[in-house]
Amino acid sequence: MEANKKWLSMPKDVRNGLLGNVWCGNCSDVTTITAFIVEEHNFGIVLKGKCKNCGNNVARVIEEE
């Protein structure tokens, strides 16, 4: 819940930029994350979801300032 609040407190254009800049190991390329959840992380929050292109599990850590 708290993680989701942190995520939503970020400007929408920043969030969109992060969603479209996630590394997929399967594609070996940058992809867009879909169907993601937001969780607490040691360094901030982490998005966990699927690669838009191949469906592989991908994650993106967003460090708090």
* Torsion (CA) 54, 23, 32, 3 in degrees, nearest 10: 120
Only one of the segments 1-9, 15-23, 36-44, 51-59 lies at the binding site for Zn ion (rule: CB under 5 A); that segment is 51-59
Q: CA 65, CA 63: separation in Å to the nearest integer? A: 6
Tell me which of 17, 56, 57, 63 binds Zn ion, using CB under 5 A: 56
Question: What is the maximal distance between C-alpha atoms in the chain?
Answer: 32
- Give, as ranges, the residues between 14 and 43 that touch Zn ion (CB under 5 A): 24, 26-27
Total count of residues recorded for the chain = 65
Q: Please say which residue, 8 or 30, places its beta carbon nearer to Zn ion.
A: 30
Residues that bind Zn ion (CB under 5 A): 24, 26-27, 51, 53-54, 56
